[in-house]
Amino acid sequence: MDIEASGFGAGSYPIEVGIVLADGSSASWLIRPEAHWTRWDASAEAVHGIARAQLLAEGWSARVVAQELNRRLAGQTVFTDGWAHDFAWLAVLFDAADLVPRFRLEHLRRLLNDEQARCWKSAYAQQSSLLGLQAHRAAADALTARSTLLALR
């Protein structure tokens, strides 16, 4: 799983969630900001390239996205390489949806031995280059993380 956000730190909120399932298929959802989600960081937008206007026009409600994540991921342990941020943004999403995640989010580091962890950054860059996906989009980053994990194993 990967989550893109409106900014960094307090007051930021999720704007896109991407997942890769065990079979390698992927999905992502843009998230329409809730009325009280007002913090927008132009430097974050410069990184992910998603405009707030695009979220307002094309985004799904927090509730629909949370329901879809629960439907697809129920009972599973889901991994992310950005656990500290993604855990917080997932909590914001599910709080807005008034739902509880039916899956568990863990740091991808739990799947790596020490040598693999040391090689992660360079292996990720290599996989990113090989895949040629748009960086800092949720599904693309999740696919790159999965590909990196498989390459390191």
3-state SS class at 79: strand
Over 90: is that where the pLDDT of 109 sits? yes
Please state the domain extents for the chain. 2-108
- Render pLDDT for 85-105 as a digit per residue (tens, 0 to 9): 999 999 999 999 999 999 999
pLDDT of the residue at 44: 95
Mean pLDDT within 8-25: 95
- Render pLDDT for 42-65 as a digit per residue (tens, 0 to 9): 999 999 999 999 999 999 999 999
Mean pLDDT within 2-28: 96
Residue 120 CA neighbour count, 13 Å, CB half: 16
Over 90: is that where the pLDDT of 118 sits? yes
Over 90: is that where the pLDDT of 19 sits? yes
To the nearest whole percent, how much of the chain has pLDDT over 90?
97
Mean pLDDT within 67-81: 98
Q: Quote the pTM value.
A: 0.95
How is domain 2-108 classified at the architecture level of CATH? 2-Layer Sandwich (3.30)
Q: Whole-number mean pLDDT of the chain?
A: 97
pLDDT of the residue at 1: 98
pLDDT band at 9 (very low <50, low <70, confident <90, very high): confident
Over 90: is that where the pLDDT of 146 sits? yes
Over 90: is that where the pLDDT of 122 sits? yes
